[in-house]
A and B are shown apart, each in its own frame.
Chain A
Amino acid sequence: MDFKLSKTHLLQQEMYRKFAETEIKPIAEEMDETEVYDQELLAKMHKYGLMGIPYSREFGGVGGDYLSYALCMEEVSKIDGSTGITISVHTSLCCSCIDGFGTKEQKEKFLRPLIDGSKTGCYGLTEPNAGSDAAGQQTQAVYDEATDEYIINGGKIFTTNSGFADLCVVFALTDKSLGTKGISAFVVPLKNEDGSRAEGVTVSDNIRRMGIRAASNCEVSYENVRVPAANRLGKEGQGFKIAMKALDGGRIGIAAQSVGLAQGALNEALAYVKERKQFGRPIAAFQTTQFKLADMQTKIDAARLMTWRAAKTKDEGGNYGPEAAMAKLFASDVANQVCREAVQLMGGYGYCREYPVERALRDAKITEIYEGTSEVMKMVVAGSMKIK
């Protein structure tokens, strides 16, 4: 057992922290207010490797591991939950599908630009009528033998990053009669090389949300979108497996995002209670405040350790699915509890938009919902326990 980060991880953590504090903090509030993700910031994250952490040097990645990725997710989410999800969807949902199931050619063509800093990706699984029940897909892909292409028709919702992403890993039925075994995965360009919208693809305006408002999140519809058969990841019918595998890993990222949101809110509250005076002394001097802070930090530490364990298991090639689900289940709950307490500690000021805990509390809620709701996490955990 070793709970200490290696020197490499520690220095990465420092770099991600510095980056978040210098580059993201000054604009986080404004991005939230305007509901627009800053594209210069996105470009900087690409430049310094934040968008390709757990991927191999062979294709232009950072060559880090999932633990490094989790550290990055925590540090950026301490400052801004929207940035967390922007990195997460690109990295652990979109790129991981291509990295895990793409051929060498596909990795060269699709993964390289995503992780060497030139393109941004998204992931299209959820549909208006298929959320937790991901198997209820309606989007279809029909093979056209004449051109060796698939013709995709259907609509996806809540596609994070889709407002600006260059390509999307889209899940679509290639054989309706087979249920989940009839789903396949495709790399679908959302833009042409010149940056114009790809034919047949329509991306809606941002869906207006409670939190992570700076993140791009839209409906994407596909109307007779033709993609070469060479864009299919894995075999026909492997799509559901690819989608679930990506989500397993993605949950480590969301767990880390939750830990970050919580720690960020706690840090703000901690600074505040030392300065804020009521009844003649700093409110930090009251034991009730101290106990509250102790509870908050304890929960965060537990969530962080669970997150790191899942990441480490994944890095070592172990069965990380249930650990990732437990980490996300627990950490997302902690994020909501801690952010709520942080607002409470800061009273009226905490409720004001000027203080970032207000944003953190709004951002935290989604962690219990996306990349598998808490209820789905319990299904995964229970499933691994061989209860029946």
Chain B
Amino acid sequence: MSKDLYVVAEQRDGEIAKVTLELLGEATKLAADLGEKVVGVLMGDGIKGKAQEMIEAGADKVIVIEDPMLAEYVTEPYTKALTALIKEYDPNIVLFGASSIGRDLAPRVAARIHTGLTADCTHLDIDMEKYFEFLHATSTADTDAIAKKLGMDDKTLKMTRPAFGGNVMATIRCADYRPQMATVRPGVMKLAEAQPGKQGEVEDFKVEFTPEDMNVTIKEVIKETKKAVDITDAKVLVSGGRGIGSADYYKELQKVADLLGGEISSSRANVDAGWIAKDRQVGQTGKTVRPDLYLACGISGAIQHIAGMENSECVISINKNDTAAIFDVSDLGIVGDVKVIIPKLIDALTKYKAAQN
């Protein structure tokens, strides 16, 4: 019978990705609800030493597949290795990070095995009570109907994900095929505290490759990060209004944006004043944005501006005037001087990041 939760590690240059550790933490909770174990899958070349990190992050066991074919990520060798492993071990659940690797590998494997795969999940449940708790807290979903449909003893993986650009959430199940597979969005699951010195089993799994398995050729690996310039694509926008005082202050806001992996944007007034380019203007005569975080600095919140950002996932605003309209659409409003808060925020974020690494 299919059993255990498998987390497929993502590694680049021998380093385990953060999303893998997040998944191990989440899998530990789900495994408890199932009474099953968490198994890490580590693929690469000369990677075995990293197994302990996965154990400390929550894995009960780590299966390692090592081969020169797996040095850099290439779809076919990884697919072949993982498919062989799944056929051998028969997992109940397999989780991947929803990264540009996980979202390439998982569908290929799912198709080869012919099982279901749910993309880009933001919430996972086994236990029905916990699932309903989540639904009650975040939605208007009709839990009675769901209880009738699934029964309260259901132990399948309930995979919840956004669709239609985040306008709608959906919970998906794969009841009739195993393993149940999902990719999970990085940064969504909380990182569990590592347990240094935790013991776990490390097992080797051998896959026979042929030269034909390398069916494409990597000619070159170029390491650089891509920078979004379209503010409508940015996950975080640090937006400046009149309250920032001068064009020069965008440099400070840019520091905040860099720390958060975001972009800077603007209200109309500063564009008109020539402080910043028109393509960064948010609002009725600018762009409509919906980032995960909109940090409004010294923006009063004219209705024309709000029309362009009110669908942001989270709005934090800083404004001297405690009656500023921007506070009405903010998750968190700070009454205060941007020029005092921002330098402190830059410090705090820098320290926060340093502590993370």
| A and B in direct contact, judged by CB atoms within 8 A | yes
Looking across the interface, which residue of chain A has its beta carbon closest to that of B272? A354
Nearest neighbor of A349 in chain B, beta-carbon distance: B304
Q: What is the CA–CA distance of A275 and B309 in the complex, to the nearest angstrom?
A: 13
Q: Contact: B285 with A275, CB < 8 Å? A: no
**Those of A236-274 within 8 Å (CB) of chain B:** 271-272
Q: Which of B231-280 contact A (CB under 8 A)?
A: 268, 272
CB <8 Å contact, B303 and A276: yes
> In the complex, what residue of chain A is closest to B306 when comparing beta carbons?
A275
Which residue of chain B has the shortest Cβ distance to A30 in the bound complex? B278
Q: CB-CB contacts of A326-357 with B at 8 A, as 1s and 0s?
A: 00000000000000000000000100001100
CB under 8 Å from chain A, chain B span 290-315: 303-304, 306-307
Task: Decide if A208 is an interface residue (CB 8 Å cutoff).
Answer: no
Give the docked Cα–Cα distance between A258 and B343 (Å). Answer: 54
B279 nearest CB across to chain A (Å): 9
Residue B284 lies at the interface, judged by CB distance under 8 Å to chain A: yes
- Main SS of chain B's interface residues? helix
By the criterion CB–CB under 8 Å, are A355 and B307 in contact?
no
Interface size range of chain B in the complex: under 10
Neighbouring A residues of B285 by C-beta, 8 Å: 354-355
Residues of chain A with a CB closer than 8 A to B306's CB: 275
Instruction: Please tell me if A277 contacts chain B, counting CB pairs below 8 Å.
Output: yes
Query: Once the chains bind, are A271 and B284 in contact (CB under 8 Å)?
Result: yes
B280 vs chain A, min Cβ distance (A)? 14
Please give the distance in Å from A206's CB to the nearest CB on chain B.
25
Interface digits, B99-126 against A, CB 8 Å rule (1 contact, 0 not)?
0000000000000000000000000000
Q: How far is the CA of A275 from the CA of B307 in the complex (A)?
A: 7
Q: Name, among A272, A275, A349, A355, the residue most crowded by chain B CB atoms within 10 Å (CB to CB).
A: A275
Residues of chain A lying within 8 A (CB to CB) of residue B303: 275-277
Hey, which chain B residues are within 8 Å of A349, CB to CB? 304
Q: Which residues of A contact B268 (CB under 8 A)?
A: 354
Q: Nearest-CB distance from B330 to chain A (Å)?
A: 17
Name the distance in Å between A31's Cβ and chain B's nearest Cβ: 15
Q: How far is the CB of B282 from chain A (nearest CB, A)?
A: 14
How many angstroms from the CA of A116 to the CA of B284 in the assembled complex? 38
Q: Looking at the assembled complex, report how far the CB atom of B65 sits from the nearest CB atom of chain A, in whole angstroms.
A: 48
Chain B residues positioned under 8 Å from A271 (CB to CB): 284
A354 and chain B: residue at smallest CB distance:
B285
Complex Cα distance A33/B284, Å? 21
B304 CB contacts on chain A under 8 angstroms? 275, 349
**CB neighbours of B284 from chain A (8 A):** 271-272, 275
Report how far A122 CA is from B303 CA in the complex, Å.
45
- Chain A hits for B272, CB < 8 A: 354
**Nearest residue, chain A, Cβ from B307:** A275
Q: Give the CA-CA distance A271 to B285 in the complex, in Å.
A: 11
CB distance from A99 to the nearest CB of B (A): 41
**Chain B residues near A275 (CB, 8 Å)?**
284, 303-304, 306-307
Contacts of A276 in B (CB 8 A): 303
Contact pattern, A 351-374, Cβ under 8 Å of B = 1, otherwise 0: 000110000000000000000000
Chain A residues contacting B307 (CB-CB under 8 Å) are 275
Chain A: minimal CB distance from B68 (Å): 48
Which residues of B, 67-90, contact A by the 8 Å Cβ criterion?
none
Q: Which residue from chain B places its CB closest to the CB of A272 in the assembled complex?
A: B284
Chain A stretch 275-292: residues in CB contact (< 8 A) with chain B = 275-277
A105–chain B nearest beta-carbon distance, Å: 49
Instruction: Give B131 Cβ to nearest chain A Cβ, in Å.
Output: 38
Interface digits, A76-104 against B, CB 8 Å rule (1 contact, 0 not)?
00000000000000000000000000000
A61 CB to nearest B CB, Å: 36
List B contacts of A277 (CB < 8 A): 303
The smallest beta-carbon distance between B306 and chain A, in angstroms, is 8
Give A271 to B307 CA distance when docked, in angstroms.
Answer: 10
Nearest-neighbour CB distance to chain A for B273, whole angstroms, equals 13
CB distance from A212 to the nearest CB of B (A): 21
CA distance A272 to B303 in the complex (A): 10
Residues of B contacting A354 in the complex (Cβ-Cβ under 8 angstroms): 268, 272, 285
Query: How far, in whole Å, are A271 and B288 apart by their CA atoms in the complex?
Result: 13
What residue of chain B has the Cβ atom nearest to residue A282's Cβ?
B303
A272: B residues at CB distance < 8 A: 284
Chain B 39-87 residues near chain A, CB threshold 8 A? none
Q: State A277–B303 Cα separation when bound (angstroms).
A: 8
Kindly state the separation between the CA atoms of A354 and B306 in the bound complex, as whole angstroms: 17
CA distance A276 to B306 in the complex (A): 11
Cα of A349 to Cα of B283 in the assembled complex, Å:
14
| Complex contacts, A355 vs chain B, CB 8 Å | 285
A276 to B283, CA, bound (A): 13
Give complex CA distance A275, B304 in Å: 7
Least CB distance, A289 to chain B, in whole angstroms: 15
Q: In chain B, what residue has the closest Cβ to A355? A: B285
CA distance A272 to B285 in the complex (A): 10
B305 CB to closest chain A CB, in angstroms? 10
Identify the closest chain A residue to B278 (Cβ): A26
Name the residue on A nearest B271 (C-beta).
A354
Within 8 A of B (CB), among A207-237: none
Query: How long is the Cα–Cα vector from A47 to B15 in the complex, in angstroms?
Result: 51
- A276 and B285 CA atoms in complex are apart in Å by 13
Per the 8 Å Cβ criterion, residues 35-66 of A in contact with B are none
CB neighbors of A among B151-189 (8 A): none
Shortest Cβ distance from residue A270 to the other chain B in the assembled complex, whole angstroms: 12
Q: How many angstroms from the CA of A277 to the CA of B307 in the assembled complex?
A: 12
Q: 14 A-B pairs, CB-CB below 8 angstroms? A: A271-B284, A272-B284, A275-B284, A275-B303, A275-B304, A275-B306, A275-B307, A276-B303, A277-B303, A349-B304, A354-B268, A354-B272, A354-B285, A355-B285
Chain B residues engaging chain A, CB cutoff 8 angstroms: 268, 272, 284-285, 303-304, 306-307
Query: Which residues from chain A sit less than 8 Å from chain B, CB to CB?
Result: 271-272, 275-277, 349, 354-355
Contacts A275-B284, A354-B268 known; list 4 others, CB within 8 Å. Answer: A275-B303, A275-B304, A349-B304, A354-B285
What 9 A-B pairs have minimum CB-CB distances, sorted nearest first? A275-B307, A275-B303, A354-B285, A277-B303, A276-B303, A275-B284, A275-B304, A355-B285, A271-B284
